[in-house]
Structure 1
């Protein structure tokens, strides 16, 4: 009798899953198929073709996929190569507390049958991919000017505090914040714009808003202090770097694929004003499918004409971890990071670390997140870059390094000891 198991059946989204099929005929060709339906009803699917061994077993920990959405030995391949039925649709978990993503794993006979309507699988099982541990608390924040969501891990604490931000699409993303809180951090997912009553567009980066967020977080009795961490992707990365430079509260900053100078909108902080390098929209590239690349829109990171817009990282007292994908199609994030690090070193600073990942794209997220190569911003599809397997490895490695970095500079997570 054919059996199919996926272990663990229920776990955090960043946990690895082992898929194991038995009871097959020796050398039988089969298809492993994954199906996920997101909260908006869009289906995501992935398939890989395997050959059972002499004992009639397919163990993805050791077996090599012969074809499908990926090849070779890749235990998490089905999860990391899920493709949407709706073109350019990005997989994002919205309700991070109350429900998991359910991923149905199906085992079909032969590589040709799985896509035919009405064909029943030989076996099936379902795994739950959660974004929060039991006992996690979530609180919408609307205090003063601050808009976002606060995540508190279970336990008395106090815990290290972190501010989490995303990029140029605006709104509020909570999935990384809830996962990070599941590791023992108090995390404030902070909205930048286009959320609640915040401005629809980011006309100015008012760093006093982010200073207010720091003070709010440090007042919470579960936050250890005195320093905080900040993590940002894309525009959020740029702001994270500015926070580490000008705000004494930020002692550990993780900057993922962002510019290292002020772009698009100027920065203001008390008597400090940094002009922005305007987006060079005329340099946008559009392919035959209407998909845009903004790689050249941000200009040359080494262009000396824009020195006045460079974030003066040499002023930062904290530490910075740059995480970049070398196949980032949104911007030259590696060169931006290298330029900032060189500037810091010229001023005698050695507080920067660079993690650079070949073939990884712009949207470096958490482990298990399927690669999103293209998704819309402002209704227009943008290409983010990345090759599936290399991008997945970058997410797995960087996620561990991010947690180590935060604990190194903020103290142990999930513990009141320093």
Structure 2
């Protein structure tokens, strides 16, 4: 009898590439357990397993068949997004390489119909966080803190500024993967790093102008305008950048906001952060208005009970004040950039749907809105990583982020190529 074997394509994928995982050589109609293991750079193992039934030819194709047990439905990357984090093995050391490959190990276990033993197979797939052909350079001039990624082949590429959220950046993984798709990407930090403000407080919008000036001066960047991509608070910043700099030809806001929201000072407790009432942004030295937040009674109950906090509740009062909301609306009528807004219907970090779709006069550019009604806040990452953790750490609390592992994974898989396609359509030059 033929021994079972894995067939995985492509052989050397980028991390954001869909894998076609097949098994052949199984007994027809037999049950087989597939296990996936992938350590993260901190040496913590992520694991999943699912049980499948081989077809009449003794084959499994994860892009065509749902598991009997495991993740729900037919999903070629279900074994990956359904992985849960395990305990770091004693003595295991973190991988100190920059953006090391993700080593995905696939293991098969099935009953041997010709005896009392087991049938097995194993393969390892190296999924590249830093794809081949992509160059990297740190940026520490012109008052900027960032990292450039671009493909080192012929011709300039469409330029994109990539902004992080309430952590301030830098999202080097996202930038490297986007560069592999044919863009020249500046991953930009705007607070929380040496040489920058400690918190998201009174960030001058001129900083983003300086970043665009730096990016457009690079030889690897196509002339004629750039894109700005941000998630969460970075999505808010991306829309603001489009309004203050006409060189922005396309702006993407993922679970972001079309109104300016309250600043986040570098303090240790949620109460004191929200009570500070600091502005997030300035322009020409003047603080810009914002929608405030406060700790609600329900949030207080969650904090006392040590539950994950729904930070989205903190915006209820601010969103109910029409005058305050109008004053803090981002002046999108000032931009001619094409705008893509992506929202998540179960975002529990902040009400990104309401914040992103407040009544406002839009600019003259194209406008596109994608909504993922069952997803939560964590949809901005590139696809095909584990999506099972729905709670994240915060200042003295834990935050609920919303959605479900399956819904968040599906949103990421749909959104990421749409972002690249949006920039391809609206930026000068063409990625290749």
Instruction: Tell me: CA distance 1:311–1:8, structure 2 relative to 1, closer, same or farther (3 Å).
Output: same
Match in the other structure for 1:228: 226
Match in the other structure for 1:309: 328
Whole-Å Cα distance in 2 between the matches of residues 50 and 279 of structure 1? 48
- Structure 1 unaligned segments of length 5 or more: list them: 88-92, 111-118
Secondary structure of 1:211's match? helix
Match in the other structure for 1:193: 191
Aligned residue among 295, 311, 326 for 1:281: 295
1:254, distance to aligned residue in structure 2 (A): 0.3
CA contact (8 A) 2:291 2:319 kept: no
Secondary structure of 1:140's match? strand
Whole-Å Cα distance in 2 between the matches of residues 379 and 254 of structure 1? 31
Match in the other structure for 1:43: 45
CA contact (8 A) 2:347 2:377 kept: yes
Secondary structure of 1:227's match? strand
For normalisation by structure 2, the TM-score amounts to 0.85
Whole-Å Cα distance in 1 between the matches of residues 334 and 119 of structure 2? 60
Instruction: Tell me: CA distance 1:7–1:350, structure 2 relative to 1, closer, same or farther (3 Å).
Output: closer
Whole-Å Cα distance in 2 between the matches of residues 163 and 414 of structure 1? 15
Secondary structure of 1:11's match? coil
Match in the other structure for 1:362: 377
Whole-Å Cα distance in 2 between the matches of residues 44 and 75 of structure 1? 18
Aligned residue among 335, 347, 353 for 1:328: 347
Secondary structure of 2:323's match? helix
CA contact (8 A) 2:140 2:146 kept: yes
Aligned residue among 159, 165, 169 for 1:167: 165
Whole-Å Cα distance in 2 between the matches of residues 136 and 370 of structure 1? 24
Secondary structure of 1:225's match? strand
CA contact (8 A) 2:171 2:187 kept: yes
CA contact (8 A) 2:296 2:314 kept: yes
What are the within-5 Å matches in structure 2 for residues 203-222 of structure 1? 203-222=201-220
Which string of whole-angstrom CA distances, capped at 9 and with x for unpartnered residues, describes residues 349-389 of structure 1? 56421011121221212221321422213463222122233
Q: Compute the RMSD of aligned alpha carbons.
A: 2.5
Match in the other structure for 2:55: 53
Whole-Å Cα distance in 2 between the matches of residues 199 and 153 of structure 1? 31
1:318, distance to aligned residue in structure 2 (A): 1.2
Instruction: Tell me: CA distance 1:105–1:60, structure 2 relative to 1, closer, same or farther (3 Å).
Output: same
1:413, distance to aligned residue in structure 2 (A): 3.2
1:77, distance to aligned residue in structure 2 (A): 0.3
CA contact (8 A) 2:133 2:180 kept: no
1:132, distance to aligned residue in structure 2 (A): 3.0
Match in the other structure for 1:79: 80
Match in the other structure for 1:380: 397
Match in the other structure for 2:269: none
Which string of whole-angstrom CA distances, capped at 9 and with x for unpartnered residues, describes residues 83-109 of structure 1? 11259xxxxx99886631011011123
Which string of whole-angstrom CA distances, capped at 9 and with x for unpartnered residues, describes residues 54-110 of structure 1? 332222122221112x122111101111211259xxxxx998866310110111237
